[in-house]
Homo-oligomer: A and B are copies of this chain.
Amino acid sequence: MPYFDTASTAPLHPVARQALAAALDEGWADPARLYREGRRAALLLDAAREAAAEAVGCRADELVFTPSGTQAVHSGIAGALAGRRRTGRHLVVSAVEHSSVLHAADVHAAAGGSVAQVPVDRSGTVTAGGYADALTASTALACLQSANHEVGTVQPVAEVADVCAEAGVPLLVDAAQSLGWGPVEGAWSVLAASAHKWGGPPGVGLLAVRKGVRFSPQHPADERESGRSPGFVNLPAAVAAAASLRAVRAEAEAEAARLRVLVDRIRRRVARLVPDVEVVGHPDRRLPHLVTFSCLYVDGETLLHELDKAGYSVSSGSSCTSSTLTPSHVLRAMGVLSEGNVRVSLPPGTTAEDVNGFLEVLPAAVARVRAALGSPEAEPVEPVADSVEVDALGLRCPQPVIELARAVRTVPVGGTVTVVSDDEVARLDVPAWCSLRGHDYLGEEPRPQGTAYTVRRRS
């Protein structure tokens, strides 16, 4: 049964499993103790740190193991901000960072700090110029992901690092999605990563802080892991993480080339096989194994259920699947359609047959979901008025856009439709729909209830 959600968590690599079993035997004791079991554990921990540091491209004494990638990000941001408190309390992040980064930024803002978000283009890419514009004399830290977790776009980390270095600002890189594929290029200052994303075990993150970077840990004092990660170190998992990182790196180049061909096929075929679909993310500067597309007039959660029934496990950035009913901040920042969103991230070893099978079931799955919702463009309709207002209050994604699509056919070319919606997603998907369909998006205005979005029919 093909599992296509490696960007959430990768299946455990066989090397990780072997290393974990061995380290549970040899490395269960406290590495801080002086007796033989402790000394043996300390040797294993040292070796794991050396191996992980080599893969990261840093010194062993710059790297600590944390209990998760999220905690590496939280500790890294808090420690770097505190280390440069005298410089100022300004934090720069991209608009498409992982929620762990944005939530750490929220904590900083709530404590009186300021946060600037660097925008991205429609491919999800930041520019070095965007960072240069955002940096101020009081910027304590800048953060940038190495590659985006939802759309796979690879960021220009080395260029942004240069801009930051010139300004004397440390750059923290969230390398969670890319570290298995290769080291992060450029002069980063702090790096965070997560082992279960590359096939390592859960329970291990990496936090690397370059020598010379001012860093002041913000959690209660704890002498373990250079004072940067409190708690008894999860040694067997750290050993398994390091061993599996080395193993996936050895296979990375060949596997990336292989998966890139399969993802290219998905990108091409989806656009051909599924009507009204938008493939999102950068077409070239992207992770080799990940592709995201959005399907007009589709409820993402229902589509995921359909694909699950057909045997395919994929993920979605659609708000339709989330309990919060807000659209993916990544898709929003990119300004692309969010409804019917599907993220496919292939694990190593995925075959052409797996991908072909997915491409066979996808069009029918999308068609079933659309049929259940009722296609808004099935039959020709005569215009009834020059301008129409549609009450979509209480309707959730993708219904407001479906209502809009139905209504547009009831006005002549040049006529306008205003859809009133209290669904946050409409703010993203109405303009995205206009862009897909070639209509003019005229803007929004607040209403006593919800927001009015107005569109001019162009064809």
Contacts and interface: CB of A to CB of B under 8 A. Distances in A.
Interface of A: 1, 3, 5, 8-9, 11-12, 17, 20-21, 24, 28-30, 33-38, 67-71, 74, 99-100, 103-104, 106-107, 194, 196, 201-203, 205, 219-223, 230-237, 301, 304-305, 307-308, 312-315, 321, 323
Contact of A35 (B222, B230, B234, B308): B308
A28 B307 CA distance: 20
A178 to B, nearest CB: 17
Given A74-B219, A232-B194, A35 B5 contact: yes
Contacts of A1: 36
Contacts of A223: 323
A235 B8 CA distance: 14
A404 to B, nearest CB: 28
A108 to B, nearest CB: 9
Contact of A220 (B8, B74, B219, B307): B74
A231 B176 CA distance: 13
A3 to B, nearest CB: 6
Number of copies: 2
Given A5-B30, A33-B313, A74-B220, 4 more contacts: A9-B29, A35-B308, A37-B313, A99-B222
19 contacts: A3-B37, A8-B29, A8-B30, A9-B232, A29-B313, A34-B301, A34-B304, A35-B312, A38-B313, A70-B230, A70-B231, A74-B230, A106-B221, A202-B234, A203-B203, A203-B234, A203-B237, A205-B231, A237-B237
Nearest to A101: B220
Which 4 A-B residue pairings sit nearest by Cβ, starting from the closest?
A67-B67, A68-B231, A203-B234, A35-B313
B67 A203 contact: yes
Contact of A305 (B24, B34, B304): B34
Given A30-B8, A220-B74, A230-B74, A202 B235 contact: yes
Contact of A100 (B220, B305, B308): B220
B313 A220 contact: no
A319 to B, nearest CB: 14
Given A74-B219, A203-B203, A221-B103, A35 B314 contact: yes
A244 to B, nearest CB: 13
Nearest to A67: B67
Which of A221, A231, A237, A308 is most buried by chain B, counting CB atoms within 10 A of its CB? A231
Contact of A67 (B8, B29, B68, B312): B68
A66 to B, nearest CB: 8
Nearest to A202: B234
Nearest to A35: B313
A233 B202 contact: yes
Contact of A230 (B68, B220, B308): B68
Contacts of A202: 28, 232-237
Contacts of A315: 33
A30 B9 contact: yes
A450 to B, nearest CB: 26
Contacts of A8: 29-30, 33
